[in-house]
Structure 1
Amino acid sequence: MSASEQLGAQGGTLERVFRFAALLGGIVLFAIMILVSVAVFFRYVLNQPILGNQELVEIGMAVVVMLAIPYTSLKGQHIRVDIFDNMLGDAGRFFCDLVSRSIGVFVLYLLVQKAWDKALDAYEYEDVTNMIEIPVWIAYGAITAGMGLFACVLVLKIISQIRHGVRGYE
C-alpha cells in the first residue's frame, strides 16, 4: 500500500507538498555539491578561496536536511531500529509507534514554535552571517517548515494507524 493510499484522500495532495519540499532540498544539495567542487578547485589550483563558502554550505545544509525529512518519513525511508519488534508483537508495535509518534508531534510542535520565533527575531533584527551576510532567518525558516511538515506527516500516520487498527499492524 502506498503512502498516499495509507493517508487517505488528502494524502495525494500532501504527498506532492512533501515531495516538492524534498525536491527543493535536493536542488539545494546539488548546488552545494557544485559550490564545494568549485571552491576546492579555486583553493587548491588557483590559490583563490571563495569568500563565504562555509556559510553557504552551512545555511544550505540546514535547508537540505529540514526539507528532506518529511518526505523521507512519509515514505518510511528513514532509519528505524526494530530490535524489540518481534518480542512486542503487533499490539506492542502498534502501541509503541502510537506513543512515539505522539511524543514526536509534541516535540516538533515545540521546535516549530521556537524556530518560528527565532526566524521572526532574525528577520526583525536583520541577523546575518559574518562573512557574506546571508540572512539567518533562511535557516530558521527552513527548520520551521521542515519540522512543521514532519509533524504533519506524523499526525497523518497516527490517523492512518488508528484507522487501520492493531490487526496486521506492520
Structure 2
Amino acid sequence: MHSVMMGLSRGLAMIGGIVLSALILMTCVSILGRHASTALNSDMVQSVAPALATWLLGFGIGPIYGDFELTELGMGFAVFCFLPLCQITSGHARVDIFTAFLSDATNRWLRLIIETIFLGAIALIAWRLSIGMSSRMRTGQTTYLLEWPVWWPYAACMVAASGAVIVAAYMVYIRVLEAIGGKDIIGEGGESEH
C-alpha cells in the first residue's frame, strides 16, 4: 500500500514539477520578449534600423499574451500537486523544540492528531474547490485576457487536492497503527519501515 501511495505522490509531484518548469520557462521567455519589444520600439533602434525593428515586431517578438493569467492558473495546480509528496515524506515545516522532550509514544499520538487535522483541512479545501468549480461552470465565467473557462483550473486543482486527500487519509491510517501499536511504521522521515 505504501508503494502505491508513494507512487501517487511522486507522480503528482512530477506533474506539478513539469507545470512549474513550463511556467518558469514561459515567464523567462515573456520577460525577454517584453524587453526585446521595448528595445525594438526605442527611438534609437527605430532611427538606426526601422525596417528590421518593424519586421521583428511583426514576427511576434514581445511578451507572451496572457502570461500573468497562465502563471496564476498554473501555480495553484502545482502547489496542490506537491502536497501529497510533502505529506507522505513528512516534509511540512515543524518546530521540534517542544516535541523533542516528549516520549516516543506521545509524539506518535501527536503525529496522529496533526495528520487528522491536515486531512480535515485538505478535505475541506477539495470540497470547496468542487463547489467553486460547479459555480464557475454554471456561470460560464472566463479569464479576462485568454477567455478560458475559469472552471478548468478549479477542476485541475480539485483533482490534485483529491490526490492529497487520499494520501492524507492513508497517513492518518498509518499514524493510527503507529499510535496503537507503539512502533513507527513511517516515522518522521517519511520512509516506510514495512
- Asked if these proteins are the same fold (TM beyond 0.5), I'd say yes
- Where structure 2 has 5 or more consecutive residues not aligned to the other structure, the ranges are 39-61, 189-194
Counterpart-to-counterpart distance in 2, 1:105 and 1:166: 22
Change in CA separation of 1:51 and 1:151 when aligned onto 2, cut-off 3 Å: same
TM-score normalized with structure 2 length: 0.74
Equivalent residues in 2 for 1:1-170, closer than 5 Å: 10-47=1-38, 48-164=62-178, 165-167=181-183, 170=188
Aligned residues: 161
CA shift, 1:145, in A, is 2.3
- Where structure 1 has 5 or more consecutive residues not aligned to the other structure, the ranges are 1-9
Counterpart-to-counterpart distance in 1, 2:154 and 2:113: 28
Is the 1:62–1:142 contact (alpha carbons within 8 Å) kept by the matching residues of 2? no
Counterpart-to-counterpart distance in 2, 1:50 and 1:70: 32
CA shift, 1:126, in A, is 2.1
% identity of equivalent residues? 26
Give the CA RMSD over aligned residues: 1.9
Is the 2:16–2:77 contact (alpha carbons within 8 Å) kept by the matching residues of 1? yes
Q: Rg: which structure is higher?
A: 2
Counterpart-to-counterpart distance in 2, 1:146 and 1:108: 11
Counterpart-to-counterpart distance in 2, 1:89 and 1:141: 43
